[in-house]
């Protein structure tokens, strides 16, 4: 008699055949009395296709953020309807509901909404009626009644948040890999599957680009203390459990994993005054436009002491909008130039254990140097170190660093 939230991503529901398979699989695992809430992504590459469609109208679709949300929320509406039909076709009562109907309330930050409150009364009623409730992931409703999406990969967040609000026994995230790996197995063939990882480390891995989980979903898990089980759509094997702490002495590695992010762009604002308030001017303009800035470097010019350069990175998806904002500020500051580099990518190592282990950074830089890979920008957090490299060398960089910390077993 468990209440379980199960999330299936786009690749798991990419065709009607796959949707039927998801329904069959869920019913085959269902124990009598289990109450099941499904949270579903849009079919396959639907979201990308919808974004491309908007690209036929405008160069920068995200400037029309509300309309993007109206467009993107249709993707999930298709998949939930089909999955609910699939359950009913197999004799299982089911009902599909949108994020709004599920009581998923958000702020008005279109295309990157944050959940403010969840009132899943409708979900509870339908469960009590013996139905499987199929909820549209990635979407909620703002105080104006407008649809808002939660950022790419947002269905994970929908699922974990809903599990928290329903006080579910567990939240299972089904995906096309078998769990969380020490690096992306598509790039590093001998990457290792982890039995467990802490919210804290997973959050850092996800924030730094590990595609398995949307970072905010991990925050939600930590907030609600809901264990998250990341597992494969295609096998019954246990995957990786994300939880508060390790239950066993699974602490052999100082570094838990190598994450990477190819969707990074670098912006350099050259020749700006080296006076108080300049950084604030640039970054508050970006913050007002809701753009996350990642690595930041301010140059030290020894010759011209009154002039400086500001270099930073943003997500590739934000580049168009960031450029508009930065161009304006640069004009105002009489900057010499704004340079954009899109062929950059970020590789990072993550592990809570690095706190008490000197020399980890040196080993990472050593691995890159041996592979003759140049480091453009370095940034660190308490439990991670990141390097910006050329996109063309990303794969090699990830492998070199992984080999340093997780050497192939002979």
Residues forming the site for ligand ASP (CB under 6 A)? 9-10, 41-42, 47, 75, 137-138, 152-155
What's the min distance (Å) between Cβ of 299 and ligand ASP? 36
Closer residue to ligand ASP, CB minimum distance, 221 or 351: 221
**Phi then psi dihedrals of residue 255, to 5 deg:** -100, 130
Minimal distance, residue 156 CB to ligand ASP, in Å = 6
Least distance between ligand ASP and beta carbon 31 (Å): 27
Least distance in angstroms from the C-beta of 316 to ligand ASP:
14
When the beta carbons of 12 and 198 are compared against ligand ASP, the nearer one is: 12
Shortest Å distance, C-beta 131 to ligand ASP: 23
Q: Looking at beta carbons only, is 40 or 310 nearer to ligand ASP?
A: 40
Query: What's the token pair of residue 393?
Result: 């060398």
45, 10 contact by CB (below 8 A): yes
Collapsed DSSP state (helix, strand, coil) of residue 115:
strand
| CA atoms 80, 155, 114, 344: torsion sign | negative
Nearer to ligand ASP, 47 or 182 (CB): 47
Both tokens of residue 290? 């809701």
CA-CA distance, 180 to 177, in Å (whole number)?
Answer: 8
Whose Cβ is closer to ligand ASP: residue 45's or residue 403's? 45
User: How far apart (Å, rounded) are the C-alpha atoms in residues 174 and 399?
Assistant: 26
Helix (H) / strand (E) containing 279: helix 278-288
Q: How many CA atoms lie within 13 A of 214 on its CB side?
A: 23
Closest CB 50 distance from ligand ASP, rounded Å: 9
Residue nearer to ligand ASP on the CB measure, 215 or 351: 215
CA distance 340 to 10: 32
Residue number with CB closer to ligand ASP (101 or 378): 101
- What lies within 8 Å, CB to CB, of 247 at 6+ separation is 196
Cβ 345 to ligand ASP shortest distance, Å: 20
* Strand blocks (E) in 169-285: 170-175, 196-198, 228-232, 240-243, 257-273
């Amino acid at each position: 008699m468990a209440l379980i939230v199960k999330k299936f991503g786009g690749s798991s529901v990419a065709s009607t055949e796959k949707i039927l398979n998801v329904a069959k699989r869920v019913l085959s695992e269902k124990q009598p009395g289990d109450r099941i809430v499904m949270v579903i992504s849009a079919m396959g590459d639907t979201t990308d296709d919808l974004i491309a469609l908007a690209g036929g109208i405008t160069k920068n679709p995200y400037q029309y953020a509300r309309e993007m949300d109206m467009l993107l929320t249709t993707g999930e509406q298709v998949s939930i309807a089909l999955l609910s039909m699939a359950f009913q076709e197999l004799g299982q009562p089911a009902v599909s509901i949108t994020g709004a109907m599920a009581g998923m309330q958000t702020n008005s930050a279109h295309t990157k909404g944050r959940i403010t409150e969840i009132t899943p009364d409708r979900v509870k009623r339908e469960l009590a009626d013996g139905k499987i409730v199929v909820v549209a992931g990635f979407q909620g409703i703002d105080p104006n009644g407008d649809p808002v999406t939660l950022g790419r990969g947002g269905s994970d967040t929908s699922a974990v948040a809903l599990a928290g609000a329903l006080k579910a026994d567990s939240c299972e995230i089904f995906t096309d890999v078998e769990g969380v790996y020490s690096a992306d197995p598509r790039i590093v063939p001998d990457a290792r599957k982890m039995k467990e990882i802490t919210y804290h480390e997973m959050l850092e891995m996800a924030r730094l680009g590990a595609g398995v989980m949307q970072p905010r979903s991990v925050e939600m898990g930590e907030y609600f203390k809901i264990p998250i089980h990341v597992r494969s759509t295609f096998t019954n094997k246990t995957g990786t459990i994300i939880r508060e702490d390790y239950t066993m002495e699974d602490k052999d590695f100082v570094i838990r994993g190598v994450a990477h992010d190819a969707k990074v762009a670098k912006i350099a604002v050259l020749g700006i005054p080296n006076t108080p308030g300049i950084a604030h001017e640039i970054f508050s303009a970006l913050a007002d436009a809701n753009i996350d800035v990642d690595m930041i470097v301010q140059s030290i010019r020894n010759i011209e002491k009154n002039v400086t350069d500001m270099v930073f990175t943003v997500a590739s998806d934000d580049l168009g909008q960031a450029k508009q904002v930065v161009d304006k500020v640069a004009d105002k500051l009489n900057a010499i130039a704004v340079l954009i580099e899109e062929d950059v990518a970020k590789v990072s190592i993550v592990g809570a254990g690095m706190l008490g282990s000197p020399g980890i950074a040196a080993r990472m830089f050593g691995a890159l140097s041996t592979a003759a890979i140049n480091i453009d920008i370095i940034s660190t957090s308490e439990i991670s170190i990141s390097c910006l490299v050329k996109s063309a060398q990303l794969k090699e960089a990830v492998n070199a660093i992984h080999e340093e910390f997780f050497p192939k077993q002979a």
